Amino acid sequence: MRPLPLSLSWVAGVLLSSEDMARPSMEIPDGYCPKDPILVRPSSPTPRHTIYLSNLDDQPFLRFSIKYVYVYRRSVAAEALAASLGKALVEYYPLAGRLVRSPEGGREKLVVNCNAQGAVFAEAHSILTADEFLRGAARPNRSWRKLLYEPTDEERSFIDVPPLLVQVTYLSCGGMILCTAISHCLCDAIGTANFLHAWALLTAKPSAAVPVAAVHDRRLLKPREPPRIEFPHPEFSSQTQECYSIFQLLLSQPLTPVSITFTAAQILHLKKQCVPSLKCTSFEALAWHVWRAWVKALDPPPALRVKLLFSVNVRRRLRPELPGGYFGNAFVMACAETFAAELSGSSARGGIMLVQAAKEGVRDGQVRSVVDLLEERWTRPDLSASLVISPWTKLGLEEVDFGEGRPLHMGPMTSEIYCLFLPVVGDLHAFTLLVSVPQGIAERFHHCCLIQQPDENYINREM
Q: Which residues are catalytically annotated?
A: 184, 401
Point out which residues pair with 462 in neighbouring strands: 259
Asked if residues 358 and 333 have their Cβ atoms less than 8 Å apart, the reply is no
Q: Select from 434, 433, 435, 432 the least CA-distant residue to 417.
A: 435
The CA distances from residue 224 to 221, 245, 323, 371, 376, in Å, are 9, 34, 20, 8, 11
Asked if residues 189 and 392 have their Cβ atoms less than 8 Å apart, the reply is yes
Q: What is the DSSP string of 145-184?
A: GGGSBPPPGGG-STTTS-SEEEEEEE-TTS-EEEEEEEET
Q: Are strands 110-113 and 50-52 parallel, antiparallel or unpaired?
A: antiparallel
Neighbouring residues of 405: CB distance < 8 A, sequence distance ≥ 6: 72, 73, 74
Asked if residues 86 and 43 have their Cβ atoms less than 8 Å apart, the reply is yes
User: How many whole angstroms separate alpha carbon 242 and alpha carbon 384?
Assistant: 9
- Residue 391's SS3 state is strand
Neighbouring residues of 441: CB distance < 8 A, sequence distance ≥ 6: 297, 298
Q: Compute CA 17 distance to the chain's CA centroid, rounded to the nearest angstrom.
A: 27
Cα angle for residues 67, 72, 75 (degrees, 5° grid): 110
User: How many whole angstroms separate alpha carbon 353 and alpha carbon 284?
Assistant: 9
